[in-house]
Amino acid sequence: MSLLIKNGRIITASDDYQADIYIQGESIHTIGEDLNMDADKVIDAAGHVIFPGGIDPHVHLEMPFMGTYSSDSYSSGTLAALHGGTTMVIDFILQTQGKSLHHALAAWKGRANNNCYGDYSFHMAVTDFNEETSKEIVQLIEGEGITSFKTFMAYKGALMIDDGQMVNLMKEVKDKGGMVTVHATNGDMIDQLIAKHRAEGKLSPLYHYLSQPEITEAEASGRFCDMADYTGVPAYIVHLTCEGALNATRRANQRNQNVYVETCIQYLLLDASLYEKDFDGAKYVMSPPLREKKDQAALWAGLNHNKVQVVGTDHCPFMWEQKLMGKDDFSKIPNGHPAIEHRMELLYSEGVNKGRITPQKFVEVTSTNAAKIFGMHPKKGCIAVGSDADLVIFDPNEKHTLSVETHHMNVDYSAYEGWEVTGKCKHVILRGQHAIDQGEVKINKGFGTFVKRGKAKAAI
Ligand code: URP
Ligand code: ZN
Ligand code: ZN
């Protein structure tokens, strides 16, 4: 199969130029002006921009969590991602405390393998680090190509590890060539505030927000950076939301240490005023919670100052019925919101089209940096000869409105209902296949493959 894309404006993390792209099989064969090759299919991209397929390194598909499962399966979630220009996701395996990492790996493979439309990989969340788990780290890195290890400093009793386990895990992961990532919030402080609010009968979604003040994230982020500095492990903070936490990572990086930072689209665009709408605020119950306008400003500045390297989604959707599990108690509302489909279009519309970031920065934070940080570059995350032909052909001027009526995610509300967006993914190419043709799906379930990742790099 060969594909020729004519007349497009190619945007990468470093360049912006006019050229044609010739694809043979799964990878990019030639990039040049006025290419004349015979091809099985030709797409005219005149008036469109072409950028690398998005990589969302933070999604939770069909994940067992808070007594239920996130509502997007591997097929519905990766297909929705493709509609929105994300060709690859990294999902999270959760170790069950008391059981092995391989036990969890088998369960996640069982749900994901042969069910994905888009390409995928896993982070391994280590929730119980001990002598046995320690031996599995090298097997996951060398044998499975799972090179990043997620930790939780919150969700005590289910997912949280203590600082002793964290330091020992970091030492082991550094020794074997991996990376440690973190949900950095102070679980004990949060649990104490949750208990206080419940005892006072303060049970609405607003108190989810008030149980996780900025200091709980800033403190844990700083502590995590100190432990990463002490052990020297390559490190990454997921879903960072606020100025205080960002400043904590800045202090750490002054000591010549690289802790990468991911924020998520919702923290750039939505704010805590959404919790004031009674139970409707449950749509935005996620951890950490939405923050203030000043935090949004800090995150946009962080992108432009290279202090924030990645924009993900933390896509973790729940049906309204599931959110209602917490109608009488905010602490029982399953945490998470749906965004896997909208990240690229929202960031282009609100970021590039509104002049907050350059097109190159857009590519960097939606694709290239994730590929580099998580050991997939230059196979993924760039437009270059020999790279996987994962491409988005995008109309930067087309206007549309986000809605539950039109989205493809398996969730019965939209967190972005009525948002006017300028810019639309018209064609999505995944490893040379025309996966999405103006909204029409051209590939089958199971086309998405598991991507084995390489070892962590100290710097990108
Ligand atoms: O609210 C969230 N973020 N749900 C998913 C689990 C996590 O903490 O990332
Ligand atoms: Zn988290
Ligand atoms: Zn998450």
Domains of the chain: residue spans and CATH: 2-51+386-396+421-441 (2.30.40.10), 53-373 (3.20.20.140)
Q: Once rounded to an integer, what is the mean pLDDT over residues 420-444?
A: 98
Amino acid making up residue 141: I
Nearest to 241 by CA among 210, 262, 219: 262
Cα 60 to middle of ligand 3, angstroms: 6
Tens of pLDDT, residue by residue over 168-215, are: 999 999 999 999 999 999 999 999 999 999 999 999 999 999 999 999
Mean pLDDT of the chain: 97
| Cα 23 to Cα 2: distance, rounded to the nearest angstrom | 5
Nearest CA owner, ligand 1 atom 1 = 286
Q: How confident is the model at residue 458 (pLDDT cuts 50, 70, 90)?
A: low
Nearest CA to ligand 1 atom 4: 336
13/377 Cα distance (integer angstroms): 12
* Over residues 15-31, mean pLDDT: 98
- Minimum CA distance residue for ligand 1 atom 7: 287
Percent of the chain with pLDDT over 90: 97
Structure confidence by residue, pLDDT tens digits, 223-261:
999 999 999 999 999 999 999 999 999 887 777 678 999
Kindly report the protein residue whose alpha carbon is nearest to atom 8 of ligand 1.
287
What pLDDT is recorded for position 126? 98
Alpha-carbon span 281 to 203, nearest angstrom? 12
Q: According to the model, what pLDDT value does residue 345 have?
A: 99
CB 187 within 8 A of CB 198: no
As for ligand 1, residues whose beta carbon falls within 6 Å of it are: 60, 183, 286-287, 314, 316, 335-336
Which one of the ligands is nearest to 316 CA?
1
Q: Tell me the best of 287, 330, 332, 337 to mutate to test the pocket of ligand 1, counting ligand atoms within 8 Å of each CB and taking the most.
A: 287
Ligand 1 geometric centre to CA of 384 (Å): 34
pLDDT at 293 over 90: yes
> How buried is 294 (Cβ within 10 angstroms: 0-12 exposed, 13-18 middle, 19+ buried)?
exposed
| Atom 3 of ligand 1, nearest CA residue | 287
The number of the ligand 1 atom at minimal distance from the alpha carbon of 183 is: 8
Give me ligand 2 centre to Cα 407, in Å.
24
> Can you tell me the distance from the alpha carbon of 68 to that of 71, in angstroms, rounded to the nearest whole number?
9
Q: What confidence tier does 91 reach under pLDDT thresholds 50, 70, 90?
A: very high
pLDDT for res 71? 98
Query: Among 60, 209, 238, which residue has the most ligand 1 atoms within 8 Å of its CB, making it the best to mutate?
Result: 60
CA of 338 to the centre of ligand 1 (A): 11
Mean pLDDT of 58-70: 98
Q: Which of 155, 314, 318 to mutate to test the pocket of ligand 1 (most atoms within 8 A of CB)?
A: 314
Treating both helix axes as pointing N-terminal to C-terminal, what angle do 293-304 and 243-253 enclose, rounded to 10 degrees?
30
- Ligand 1 pocket test: pick from 71, 72, 335, 411 the residue with the most ligand atoms within 8 Å of its Cβ: 335
Instruction: Kindly give the distance from the C-alpha atom of residue 239 to the centroid of ligand 2, in angstroms, as a whole number.
Output: 7
Residue minimizing CA distance to atom 5 of ligand 1: 336
